[in-house]
């Protein structure tokens, strides 16, 4: 298993080859997963992935005096990335690696079929709903009057996961509606299949 940062790098490089500095710019200029844009995190991670054979580097000398190490995904890298993208959201991730579920969703757009994305979201929703139930259990077992702040904090947590459940529903609807429009548009050329399986 790789770190979440490493999967993010695989995913970014997988959408289009890029150098460490491009990743740095992405991380510092967009709210992408809220990763650190520090070179001390990015460059060593990309080297690790190269050493593991998941990324390969090509020296870009188009600007003579300032070479860029442009990375691209290897086949094994694509395999590792896709295997990860297909992992269902676990309870543990909801608690400790909260960035991973949404990162998989974002990176999944380029590499998973819509049906797979929907299945992934449904899994996420089920896990969230189960966890909400678990948290409600805690809430019920809390002595009523004492400890106001813990109760409020727990309510906030529950709301957050409920918000995700709601959002997932709307995301699925939006993906489905695109699927319909996409099928219409690509219908003539693609005979409306090739998107389902994969």
State the Cα–Cα distance between residues 46 and 54, nearest whole angstrom.
9
**Binding of residue 178 to a copy of itself (CB under 8 A):** yes
101 makes contact, choosing from DNA, a copy of itself, none, with CB < 5 to 8 Å by partner type, with none
Query: In which region does residue 71 sit, left (phi positive, over 0), alpha (psi from -120 to 50) or beta (all else)?
Result: beta
Least separation in angstroms between residue 136's CB and DNA is 22
Per DSSP, 35 falls in state -
Q: Which of residues 2 and 175 has its CB atom nearest to a copy of itself in the complex?
A: 175
Give backbone dihedrals phi and psi of 194, rounded to 5 degrees, phi first.
Answer: 95, -15
146 makes contact, choosing from a copy of itself, DNA, none, with CB < 5 to 8 Å by partner type, with none
Give residues 151-170 in contact with a copy of itself (rule: CB under 8 A): 152-157, 159-160, 163-164, 167
38 makes contact, choosing from a copy of itself, DNA, none, with CB < 5 to 8 Å by partner type, with DNA
Q: Are 55 and 10 in contact (CB under 8 A)?
A: yes
Q: Give the residue from 104, 113, 123 showing the smallest Cα distance to 33.
A: 104
Site residues (CB under 7 A) for DNA?
A: 3-6, 19-22, 24-25, 36, 38-41, 43-48, 63-70, 96
Q: Give the residue from 46, 37, 38 showing the smallest Cα distance to 17.
A: 46
Give residues 85-144 in contact with a copy of itself (rule: CB under 8 A): 95-96, 98, 102, 105-106, 108-109, 117, 135, 138
State the Cα–Cα distance between residues 76 and 148, nearest whole angstrom.
52
69 makes contact, choosing from DNA, a copy of itself, none, with CB < 5 to 8 Å by partner type, with DNA
State the Cα–Cα distance between residues 198 and 108, nearest whole angstrom.
13
State the Cα–Cα distance between residues 107 and 83, nearest whole angstrom.
12
Q: Are 74 and 10 in contact (CB under 8 A)?
A: no
38 to 77: interface string for a copy of itself, x by CB under 8 A: ----------------------------------------
Residues in the site for a copy of itself, rule: CB under 8 A?
30-32, 34, 36, 95-96, 98, 102, 105-106, 108-109, 117, 135, 138, 147-150, 152-157, 159-160, 163-164, 167, 171, 174-175, 178
């Amino acid at each position: 298993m790789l770190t979440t940062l490493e999967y993010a790098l695989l995913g970014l490089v997988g959408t289009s080859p890029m150098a460490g500095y491009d990743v740095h710019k992405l991380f510092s200029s967009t709210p992408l997963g809220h990763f650190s844009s520090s070179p001390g995190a990015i460059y060593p991670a990309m080297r690790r992935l190269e050493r593991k054979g998941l990324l390969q580097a090509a020296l870009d000398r188009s600007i003579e005096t300032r070479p860029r190490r442009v990375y691209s995904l290897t086949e094994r890298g694509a395999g590792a990335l896709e295997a990860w993208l297909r992992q269902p959201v676990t309870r543990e991730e909801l608690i400790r690696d909260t960035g991973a579920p949404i990162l998989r969703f974002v990176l999944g757009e380029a590499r998973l079929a819509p049906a797979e994305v929907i299945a992934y979201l449904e899994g996420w929703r089920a896990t969230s709903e189960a966890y909400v139930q678990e948290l409600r259990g805690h809430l019920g077992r809390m002595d009523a009057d004492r400890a106001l702040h813990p109760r409020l904090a727990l309510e906030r947590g529950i709301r957050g996961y409920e918000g995700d459940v709601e959002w997932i529903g709307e995301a699925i609807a939006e993906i489905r509606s695109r699927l319909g429009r996409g099928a219409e548009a690509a219908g003539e050329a693609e005979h409306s299949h090739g998107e389902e399986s994969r």
